[in-house]
Structure 1
Amino acid sequence: MVRAPRPRVCVRASDADADGDLEARLAREFRRRGIRSSLQQLEEEGPSAFKDPAKVVEFVMLCLQHREDAGLAQAFRFTSAAAGTQSFVHGVSDSTPRTSWVSGKVIGRFVSGVANDLAGFSRELRAEFPMLLACDAWRFASPPTTLSKEEDGWIVQFLLDVRKGGSAYIVAVRLLYDWGSWCFLIFNVKVLQDPGGDAALEKH
């Protein structure tokens, strides 16, 4: 089976410099050619089927890193619905209360924890996870780990290496598969340690 070559997008450095924003130029070029990246799909479609959990984490982290209040709204969007608000039929809406990243846990295949509206969720992230907001750089620190089988809830964990203000953090992000939206959603985040050091970290 021969695969068709992927379309390529070329942007001259001089053009990008003149415009001042290479990312914006690429996004416009993608739109012009009808090409959507997996991250663009996440923003346009929200939690829905066939979304790679790694891309969910990447999208949320990039939003928190670069988009301030709008980034918090996207992180809220890709967080597990609070207990009692999940639906196997309708998924989650943007206004559905979400589970606290601090207290979220899985009991019997369902998420449990403090319920937050967007305002409460934003306050919690600013108070508990300031290193994630406008961080200097971040990367995946290890391959994903499956913490439970599908029949037990299907939990996946990613470890992130996050740098901000000269400090380094290892952050664990846990996602549970949501059968209503057919998508992995974040339900718990924990700062594990500050490893220190000045190891090089490629910026996203």
Structure 2
Amino acid sequence: MTALPDWMRPPRAEGWFADDLDRLPEAPRHTELIDGALVFMMCPQHAWHSRTVSALKHELAAQAPAGLEADQEMTIRLDERNRPEPDVVVTTAAYDPGRTYFTPDVVRLVIEVVSPESAHRDRTVKLRKYAESGIPHYWRVEEEGGGRPVVHAYELDQPTRAYAPTGIFRGTLRSPAPFDITIDLDGLTPPGR
């Protein structure tokens, strides 16, 4: 075994805080903070995941009304101990070239495209944390047979700060929230594209 690099050692006994991520230039891309622990994307992404993320971001950016922006690979500072990085996020935030994260108050939709290594976090941990932070909409995208995506959509129930399922979409996703959206899901990653 080799020794851990210095940057992997928490700066304090309580672990890491959200602002610490901005001071870790040596950390791998897609480093998240969950409950004060660094989470690294150590497995290489599959082509299906990468294409699905890119296609969803493109579709949402093309359909979003003025005042909403779709981004990817940006963290959300949920609180001082949690800063996850969803695959796609739709926000009301104006473009800022120096931005390193969003805050929940500007986030309207979070999308996680499930990978084998992120499945538990995407299905349980992030579902709960995004809801508790007040983010109105959450989509979890899973791969079904033949590489077809299925979207599990949720909407926040404000009084309970928990998500209620609003639908499971195959083939085509049509939703009036967070804005009128129609997406040909099977067309996101067609064979040979």
More strand by share: 2
Higher relative contact order (CA 8 A, sep 6+): 1
Give the TM-score of the pair, scaled to structure 2: 0.30
Give the TM-score of the pair, scaled to structure 1: 0.29
More helix by share: 1
